Chains A and B, each alone.
Chain A
Amino acid sequence: MCSSFRVFRVGISFVTMCIFYKSAANSLPELSPHEYFSTLQPGKASLAYFCQADSPSTSVFLEGLHEAVRPLQDYGISVAKVNCIKEETSRYCGKDKDLMKAYLFRGNILLREFPTDTLFDENAIVAHVLFALLFNEVKYITTPEDLQSAENALKGKANIVFSYVRAIGTPEHRAVMEAAFVYGTTCQFVLTTEIALLESIGSEEIEYAHLYFFHCKPVLDLTQECRRILMEQPLTTLNIDLFIKTMNAPLLTEVAEDPQHVSTVHFQLGLPLVFIVSQQATYEADKRTAEWVAWRLLGKAGVLLLLRDSLEANIPQHANVVFKRAEKGVPVEFLVLHDVDSIISHVENNVHIEEKQEDGEDDVEGPDIDIQDDEVAETVYRDRKRQLPLELTVELTEETFNATVMASDSLVLFYAGWQAVSMAFLQSYIDVAAKLKGTSTMLLTRINCADWTDVCTKQNVTEFPVVKMYKEGENPVSYAGMLGTEDLLKFIQLNRISYPVNITSIQEAEQYLHGELYKDLLSYSSVSVLGLFSPTMITAKEDFTEAGRALKGYVITGVYSGEDVLILSNKYAVTLPALLLARHKEGRIESIPLANTHAHDIVQLITDASLETFPEITVENLPSYLRLQKPLLMLFSDGSINPQHEKAVLTMVEQKHLDSLTPCWLNLKNTPVGRGILKAYFDTLPPLPLLVVVNLHSGGRVFAFPSDQAITEQNLFSWLKKLRSRIRNPISKCLLALMQHSSGVFVP
C-alpha cells in the first residue's frame, strides 16, 4: 500500500515459510515447587513433572506431556511442570538430573510416582494416570482364578467389562481406561495383560486387544456362567462406549407401532433393528425366539417383538420379520425367514460395520478444510503447468481492443486468469481456434479481465467467462450456448451468414428447404426454418425477422415474402403467415401457422419444434428436453438402440400414448455418465437395455420396466397404464403394491 509498508514486508518471506500450526490451549504451566504446592486443591488430582531448572526445555517426554494436558484436563486432572530451583528444595526434586520423575497427587497426597520412561507418549500418560486414579474401578488380574472369583463375586450384582491389552500404556489401554472413567461406577472393569488368561476364555486371535462384556447381573444361580459377549470392533474410546451402551440396553422390547417410526437406543447408535412379527396366538413362542435372536445379535442389532394384532400399519401377510437398516430414511424391508440362523445371517450380511473415526476436537472443525471439493477448480489447478497453444488466439489489451474488434469480425473471450471456470473454458476456446485455424474469417481473440478490468467493465462484462461476437455494423452479441468446443464452433459456423436469410425466389426457397442452399451448415442446425409471408404482412414479417436474429448462431432461419408466396403455402397446405420447418435428418418438412405471434413466442415455437420425438439424450441436449417438464421415458442402451425397441416406442408416440411423457434413449457408448445414473438408481449396473420412467418434476421417482418382459408395444402400454395410476396416488399407500411391478426409486 505505501512504500514503507512494501519495503518492510520483504523481510517476511522467510518467516512465512517456517510457520507451523500451534494449538492454542495446550499450555503447560511452569511453576516453582512452592508455587505448585500452593495451587493444589483438596480432592483434585494433579500430575507434576519435577525437573531441574537448567534441564533442556524439550524432550520426548515433555512433548508427550504437552499433548496430554488437554485430555487430562477433560478428566479434571491438572498438569504442571515444576522447576526445581536452588532456593527451594523439595524432596520431589531428585539429586540426579537423569532421575527426574513425575508424581501424581490427589490434593496434596502422593498417589503414585512414575519414572519418565513409563510415560512414553500421550496415550501412556493418560492411561497410567487414569489407571492409578481408578484403582478400585479397574481390577488388574493375572490368572484365570482371579477372573473366576471376580465373576462369582459379582453374579446377580453387576456386569463385568473384561479386557485384555498387550501392554499398559498402549492406545487400547487408554481407551479402556477412558471408558472405565465413565462406566466404572455401573460396571466392574477387569483388566489383564496375560495372554494365558485370554486363551482360557477361548479367544483364538490373541494378537490384538480384546474386550468382553460379561452379563453377570442377571445370573442368580452361582453355578451358572455369565454370558460373555465379545466386542468385534477395534478398541477405541468411541467403540467401547457404543458397545457398553448397547450391552446395557434392554435385551428385547415389545412394540405395537409402525416399524418405520420405531427408534430405540440401538438405532440411535447406528445399529439396525430386527422386528420379530408376532400375534396373540403364538406370542409365547415368538417371545422365546426373539430372546434367542436377541442374544445372538447382542451388539449387532436391536431386537424387538412386533405385535401384529394391535398394529394399524399394514404388514404384508406372509412377512414374519421386519428389517430396518441403520441408515436413516431407508424404507423398512419385509422378509419371510424360516429359522433363527437365516435371521442372523440376513442381519450380518446387511450390516457393514462402519469404521468410526475417533474424532478429537481438531477434526470437528472439518478435517477437509483445505481439501478442494470443486471439480473445476481442482482440475484447472492440476492442469496449470500444461502449456496451452495460446498463440492461436489474439490477446487483446486496452490499447488494441477497439482497433481489433473494429477492424474485423471478432469473437472475444472475456476471462479472468484467477477464475477456474474461465480457465477451464479457455481450453475449449483454444480448441476452437485450433479447429478453425486458417479456415475462418472470424478472428478469435481473448482479453484477461484480471489485467484489463476497465476494458471489460466498458464492454459491460462484470462476470466471467463471457464470449461476445463483434461484427461490423452490428451490436455485439453475447454467446449463450454451452461453454464447450462443439457448441461454440457451431455458433461461429452458423454466424457466417446473417439471419434470417432473405430468400428471393420459389426455386431458392425449395433449395433452402431441401438443404441444398447451405449444405455446409446443415450439420450445425438440426432444422432449417422458413418464414412465409405475403408482401403486405409487414408486422408479422418483422416479428419473424426479430426472432430469426435472436436465434442467430443456433438455428438456420430464412424468410420469403415474394408475390408468388401462395405457391408455397398451397404446396405445404398452410395459411399465411406460416413457418416451414425442414428436418433434414428425417427428410421431412412440417408447416406451422403463425397468427399474431410475437417475436418471443416465435423463438419459443422454433425452439420447441426443433426438438425430436424420440431423441438420443446427451449431456448437451438434456436441458432442452427437461424444459418440457414431463417425466422422461428413457431407454438405456449399451450402444445403438435396438430397432425393434425404437419401433415400439415410435408407434406408441404416433398413437399418442406417450404425450404425457418425453420418450428418449441414452447410448452409454456416447454418454458414459449414463452408467453413473443407473448406479445411482439401482446401486449396481442392471442388465441392458433397460427402460425407465424418471419422474423428476413430481416426487422424483424412478420406475424400471420389468426386466423379464420384452420391450414391446403391448407390454409397454400395460406397464405405463399401471404406472400412471401409481403416480397419481399418494406414495405410501401404493408402495407395496408397486413393488410387485417395478422398482421405485425416490430421488431426493
Chain B
Amino acid sequence: MWGSPGLLLTLALHPALAVAPARDYCVLGAGPAGLQMAYFLQRAGRDYTVLERAPGPGSFFARYPRHRKLISINKRYTGRSNAEFNLRHDWNSLLSHDPRLLFKHYSAAYFPDAGDMQRYLGDFAGRLGLRVQYNTTVLHVALDKDRRAWNGHYFVLTDHKGQVYRCRVLLVATGLSVPNRVDFPGSEHLEGYESVSVDPEDFVGQNVLILGRGNAAFETAENILGVTNFIHMLSRSRVRLSWATHYVGDLRAINNGLLDTYQLKSLDGLLESDLTDLAILKDREGKFHVTLKFFVEEAGTNQSADAVTLPQDDSDNFAMRVAYDRVIRCLGWNFDFSIFNESLRLSSGSEFSRKYPLIRASYEAKGSRGLFVLGTASHSVDYRKSAGGFIHGFRYTVRAVHRLLEQRHHGVAWPATQHPITQLTSSVLRRVNEASGLYQMFGVLADVILVQENATAFEYLEEFPTQMLAQLESLTGRRARHGLFVVHMEYGRNFSGPEKDVFFYDRSVGHTEDAWQSNFLHPVIYYYRHLPTEQEVRFRPAQWPLPRPTAIHHIVEDFLTDWTAPVGHVLPLRRFLENCLGTDLRSFYAESCFLFALTRQKLPPFCRQGYLRKQGLVSTESLRRHGVESGLMQDHAAAGQHLRDRGQQPGDRGPVGHPPAAGMLAQSLNSDKEEL
C-alpha cells in the first residue's frame, strides 16, 4: 500500500529515506484498549489507524481465559437509571456514546463467557466504523529522528509483509502476550496454562501440581478439582485474596474453591516456596518429583530421578514427597518487548513490575516521547492498587491519554466546565455520587477543581492522573493560580492487604467526625493553596496518593455509596469547602438575600450570584413555615403583629423605647457568619 516490499531493507536501514506518508496516530493492537483509543481518536476527527495481527478484534479472548469464564462482572441491574453510575458496576463495556454498545446487551451472565467479549469487541469496532487494519503483524518498531516531527522523531513500523508505517505518535495496546516462564532444571516437563487440556476427563485420578497462585492457576484447579486425587499449588508468596486486598487482579472468590477444600481438610493444598530454587525430576514411570536445584547441581551429569537427592531423603515428612502425574505452569504473562528497537529505549519496570514496560503516570514511555502504552500493558502505574490493568479501569486511562494528546498536539485544552462558586458543593456531590472513572480508578484518576480569582467561580476537570498533578498546567492548558481541590476516592489507609482481616468488628464508621477513619471506598477531597511541585509529588509521605495538602476532607463511608445525606455528607463537605475558601456557600431564599442586600455590604455568593442577578430562589409557604420552626428564618409578619399589638397600648413605645432620631447612634450590624 505504501511502498514496495523490495524497499524494506533500505527503509529499515535508512529510515531517513522513507517515502511512506506519516500518520498522526498509530495504535498497535485491536484489543479493548486499542479500540477504546481508536474510538476517541475517531470522535475527535484525528488521523489514525489501528494495526492488528489477527483477522478480528480481541483475539486474546478467542483463547483466553482457557476455561472461558470472564471474572469481570456484568451487572445488568443496579436499581438506578443513571448511566454513569451504572458503569461503576459494568466491568466489560467500553466507553462510547452509543447505549447499544453496553456489554449487558451481549451477555446475561454475571460472569460472562469470553466469546461474548470477542463478539462485543467486533460490534464495537464495526458499528462505530473504527479504522482497523487486520491481519497486519508489526514485526519491528524503530525511531526515525526528524526535528520537524511532533516529538522530534517518527515511529517507523514494519509489518510482516514489509510494509512500512510512519507514525507521529505510537499508542501501544498489545497487552501482555508472552507467557511467563521460570527456568529451572526440569522446567521442560511443565505444561503451560496456554496449552494445558481443559477437559477434566484428562485428569481423572491424577496427582496434580500447579505452579502459580493467580486467577489462572486457581481457575485451572477449579476445573479439575472434582476428578483429581489431589491438587497441590506452589508459589513464592502467600495467596492474595482480592476481597482482602481490594485489588481485582488478586485471587477472586469465584475461583477460590480450592482454598475452601484445603482448609476443610481435603487432600488439596497450598505451599510456598521460591520457584527458582526448584527442580523437577521425571522418574521411569513418567511421574514427577519435586526436589531442589541445589541437589540437581550436586548430582552432576546423572540427573535421573534415582540419582538425585530428594528433600524427603533428609527430611522424611517433606510436604511434596509424593510423585505427581502432571505439573502445570500458570505464572501469568509478560509484555512483548521483542518488536521494539533499542532506540526506543522501552525497558521493563523494576522488580516489582518487571512484566510491564516502564512508563510515566501520564502513560508515556520513559524512554521515548510520543510513545504511549495503553491497556493491560500500562498497569505498572497502578499494579496491585487500582484497576488500570483491566477494561473497567483502562477505558478511563485511555481517555485521559487522549485528552493529554488533544492538548499537546491540537491545542484543545482538557475539557472543563465553568461554574459560579455557589455550585461548588453540588459539583463535587454530583461527581462523587455518579462518576465511574473516579470509582474504578480510585487513587489514580482524580477530578480537579481549579478555583478562580477571589473564589467566585471555578473550573471542573474530570479524571486527571493524580501523579501528574505538578504538570497540570502544561498537560491540560488550564491555569491553577488560585488554589485547587482534588477529588478522588480511597480505601482506608490500613484496610487493604493480603494478611488483613477485612471483616473485623467496628470496621465501618458512621459519624462524620470519624470520617477520616473510613475503611471502605469513600471520597476524599484535598485542598492545595498552590499547585504542588514535582518534588512534592515525588517525595510525598509513604502510602499517600498525593502530597500533603493544605486541608483534607473525608466524606464518611456510606453503605449504599450514596453520599447525599444532608447532615451526614453534604453539611461537613460544605463546611470544609467554606473553610478552605473563606467564603459562605450556604443557599438562601430571596427574602433573606433581600434583608442582607439592605443591611450588609458583603453578601454571600448565593445572593450575589443569584438574587442580585434577579435569579433569587423564592420560598413557598410550606418551606417558610419549616424555616421559622427551625429557627433559621425569622417570621417577620408575626413579629410585626406582635409589635403592633404592643404599640396600641398608650405610652408604650416598644420594649427599649429608643426613638431612632433622638441623637443617638444605632449599633453597627454584626453578623456571625458574614465571612467564614
Chain A residues within 8 Å of B, Cβ to Cβ: 1-5, 8-9, 11-13, 15-17, 19, 21, 327, 329-331, 365, 369-370, 372-383, 386, 397-398, 416, 418-421, 424-425, 427-428, 431, 449-454, 462-464, 480-487, 619-620, 622-624, 626, 632, 638, 668, 671-677, 680-687, 690, 694, 696, 700, 702, 704-708, 739-740, 742-748
A740 to B427, CA, bound (A): 53
Is B636 within 8 A of A672, CB to CB? Answer: yes
Is A15 within 8 A of B506, CB to CB? Answer: yes
Is A684 within 8 A of B656, CB to CB? Answer: yes
Stretch from B118-126, B211-219, B284-292, B624-632 at the A interface: B624-632
Stretch from B140-148, B164-172, B588-596 at the A interface: B588-596
Q: Is B189 an interface residue (CB 8 A)?
A: no
Selected contact of A681 from candidates B618, B639, B666, CB within 8 Å = B666
Is A747 within 8 A of B597, CB to CB? Answer: no
Residue of B nearest to A431 (CB): B620
How many whole Å from B387's CB to the nearest CB in chain A? Answer: 9
Q: Is B300 an interface residue (CB 8 A)?
A: no
Q: A19-B506, A674-B636 are in contact. Are A420 and B566 (CB under 8 A)?
A: yes
Q: Is B104 an interface residue (CB 8 A)?
A: no
Q: A4-B242, A12-B559, A330-B668 are in contact. Are A673 and B434 (CB under 8 A)?
A: no
Is B83 within 8 A of A416, CB to CB? Answer: no
Residues of B within 8 A of A418 (CB): 429, 433, 564, 570
Number of interface residues of B (CB under 8 A): 118
Stretch from B226-234, B369-377, B510-518, B534-542 at the A interface: B510-518
Is A748 within 8 A of B669, CB to CB? Answer: yes
How many whole Å from B589's CB to the nearest CB in chain A? Answer: 6
Q: Is B461 an interface residue (CB 8 A)?
A: no
A352 to B208, CA, bound (A): 88
Q: A372-B567, A427-B622 are in contact. Are A419 and B84 (CB under 8 A)?
A: no
Selected contact of B627 from candidates A378, A398, A676, CB within 8 Å = A378
Is B616 within 8 A of A482, CB to CB? Answer: yes
Residues of A within 8 A of B630 (CB): 372, 375, 378-379, 382
Residues of B within 8 A of A2 (CB): 73, 91, 242, 248
Q: Is B275 an interface residue (CB 8 A)?
A: no
Is A680 within 8 A of B597, CB to CB? Answer: no
Residue of B nearest to A382 (CB): B626
Contact code string B428-441 (vs A, CB < 8 Å = 1, else 0): 01100110000110
24 A-B pairs within 8 Å (CB atoms) are namely: A9-B520, A12-B507, A19-B508, A19-B511, A373-B632, A374-B632, A375-B627, A378-B566, A381-B566, A383-B626, A424-B619, A424-B620, A431-B620, A451-B82, A480-B615, A626-B597, A677-B599, A684-B655, A690-B660, A707-B660, A743-B661, A743-B664, A744-B665, A745-B667
Is B571 within 8 A of A374, CB to CB? Answer: yes
Q: A8-B502, A331-B665, A373-B673 are in contact. Are A386 and B622 (CB under 8 A)?
A: yes
A462 to B447, CA, bound (A): 15
Chain B residues within 8 Å of A, Cβ to Cβ: 73, 75, 80-85, 88-89, 91, 110, 242-243, 246, 248, 252-253, 417, 419-420, 423, 426-427, 429-430, 433-434, 439-440, 502-503, 505-514, 520-521, 559, 561, 564, 566-568, 570-572, 574-575, 586-592, 594-595, 597-602, 610-620, 622-624, 626-627, 629-630, 632-634, 636-637, 639-640, 643-644, 653-671, 673-674
A78 to B639, CA, bound (A): 56
Is B656 within 8 A of A743, CB to CB? Answer: no
Q: A421-B587, A740-B663 are in contact. Are A687 and B653 (CB under 8 A)?
A: yes
Selected contact of A4 from candidates B243, B434, B598, B624, CB within 8 Å = B243
- Please give me the 4 A-B residue pairs with the lowest Cβ-Cβ distance, nearest first: A484-B618, A418-B564, A672-B636, A672-B637
Q: A16-B510, A377-B566 are in contact. Are A623 and B243 (CB under 8 A)?
A: no
How many whole Å from A525's CB to the nearest CB in chain B? Answer: 15
Residues of B within 8 A of A740 (CB): 663
Is B434 within 8 A of A482, CB to CB? Answer: no
Residue of B nearest to A378 (CB): B630
Selected contact of B671 from candidates A11, A677, A706, A748, CB within 8 Å = A748
Residue of A nearest to B665 (CB): A331
Is B513 within 8 A of A369, CB to CB? Answer: yes
Residues of B within 8 A of A708 (CB): 661
Is A374 within 8 A of B668, CB to CB? Answer: no
Residue of A nearest to B81 (CB): A451
Is B430 within 8 A of A416, CB to CB? Answer: yes
Residue of B nearest to A621 (CB): B614
Most buried by A among B73, B521, B575, B626: B626
Q: A377-B566, A378-B632 are in contact. Are A463 and B243 (CB under 8 A)?
A: no
A584 to B587, CA, bound (A): 37
Is A377 within 8 A of B619, CB to CB? Answer: no
Is A21 within 8 A of B669, CB to CB? Answer: no
Residue of A nearest to B243 (CB): A4
Residues of B within 8 A of A451 (CB): 80-82
Is A428 within 8 A of B663, CB to CB? Answer: no
Residues of A within 8 A of B640 (CB): 638, 668, 672, 675, 685
Is A16 within 8 A of B559, CB to CB? Answer: yes
A239 to B430, CA, bound (A): 48
How many whole Å from A557's CB to the nearest CB in chain B? Answer: 18
Is B570 within 8 A of A748, CB to CB? Answer: no
Residue of A nearest to B631 (CB): A378
Q: A425-B617, A748-B601 are in contact. Are A739 and B82 (CB under 8 A)?
A: no
Q: A1-B521, A11-B503 are in contact. Are A673 and B567 (CB under 8 A)?
A: no
Residues of A within 8 A of B663 (CB): 739-740
A586 to B268, CA, bound (A): 97
Selected contact of B656 from candidates A398, A428, A683, CB within 8 Å = A683
Residue of B nearest to A479 (CB): B615
Is A706 within 8 A of B661, CB to CB? Answer: yes
How many whole Å from B648's CB to the nearest CB in chain A? Answer: 13
Residue of A nearest to B671 (CB): A748
How many whole Å from A515's CB to the nearest CB in chain B? Answer: 25
Residues of A within 8 A of B566 (CB): 372, 377-378, 380-381, 420
How many whole Å from A595's CB to the nearest CB in chain B? Answer: 28
Residue of B nearest to A742 (CB): B661
Q: A3-B73, A383-B623, A700-B601 are in contact. Are A375 and B632 (CB under 8 A)?
A: yes
Is B666 within 8 A of A452, CB to CB? Answer: no
Selected contact of B617 from candidates A1, A21, A484, CB within 8 Å = A484
Is A481 within 8 A of B615, CB to CB? Answer: yes
Residues of B within 8 A of A15 (CB): 505-508
Residue of A nearest to B641 (CB): A672
A700 to B614, CA, bound (A): 22
Residue of B nearest to A696 (CB): B601
Residues of A within 8 A of B434 (CB): 450, 453
Residue of B nearest to A745 (CB): B666
Most buried by B among A8, A365, A452, A682: A682
Q: A386-B622, A743-B660 are in contact. Are A748 and B668 (CB under 8 A)?
A: yes
Q: Besides the contacts A375-B592, A672-B636, A685-B640, what 8 more A-B pairs have beta carbons closer than 8 Å?
A: A19-B510, A383-B623, A450-B430, A454-B84, A463-B420, A482-B614, A680-B669, A681-B599
Residues of A within 8 A of B511 (CB): 19, 21
A382 to B589, CA, bound (A): 15
How many whole Å from A712's CB to the nearest CB in chain B? Answer: 16
How many whole Å from A433's CB to the nearest CB in chain B? Answer: 13
Residues of B within 8 A of A398 (CB): 81, 83
Residues of B within 8 A of A377 (CB): 566, 570-571, 586-587
Is A462 within 8 A of B614, CB to CB? Answer: no
Residue of A nearest to B624 (CB): A379
Residue of A nearest to B653 (CB): A687
Residues of B within 8 A of A428 (CB): 618, 620
How many whole Å from A374's CB to the nearest CB in chain B? Answer: 4
Residues of A within 8 A of B620 (CB): 424, 427-428, 431, 485
Residues of B within 8 A of A690 (CB): 660
A486 to B665, CA, bound (A): 40
Is B654 within 8 A of A685, CB to CB? Answer: yes
Is A424 within 8 A of B592, CB to CB? Answer: no
How many whole Å from A665's CB to the nearest CB in chain B? Answer: 13
